[in-house]
Structure 1
Amino acid sequence: MKIALICAALLATLSSASALAADPAAAAQKAGCMACHTMDKKLVGPSFKDIAAKYKGQGDAVAKLSDKVRKGGAGNWGQIPMPPNPAEKIGDADLKEVVGWILKS
Structure 2
Amino acid sequence: MKTLMNVALACAALALGAPAQANADLAKTKNCMGCHAMDTKVLGPAFKEVATKYKGQKDAEAKLVASITKGSSGAWGAMAMPPNPVSPAEAQTLAKWVLAQK
Please give the TM-score of this superposition, normalised by the length of structure 1: 0.73
| Runs of 4+ off more than 3 Å | none
Distance 1:94 1:70 in 2: 10
Which residue in 1 is equivalent to 2:95?
Answer: 99
Partner AA of 1:42 in structure 2: K
Report the identity percentage.
45
CA contact (8 A) 1:24 1:94 kept: no
Q: RMSD of the TM alignment (CA)?
A: 1.8
Mean Cα deviation higher: 30-39 or 89-98: 89-98
Secondary structure, counterpart of 2:64 in structure 1: helix
CA contact (8 A) 2:69 2:86 kept: no
Distance 2:56 2:48 in 1: 14
Partner AA of 2:79 in structure 1: I
Secondary structure, counterpart of 1:64 in structure 2: helix
CA contact (8 A) 1:62 1:96 kept: yes
Partner AA of 2:28 in structure 1: Q
Unaligned runs of 5+ in 2: 1-17
What is the aligned residue count? Answer: 83
Deviations 1:37-82 (A, max 9, x none): 0001000000000000000001111111100111112111000111
Q: CA deviation at 1:101?
A: 0.8
Which residue in 2 is equivalent to 1:32?
Answer: 31
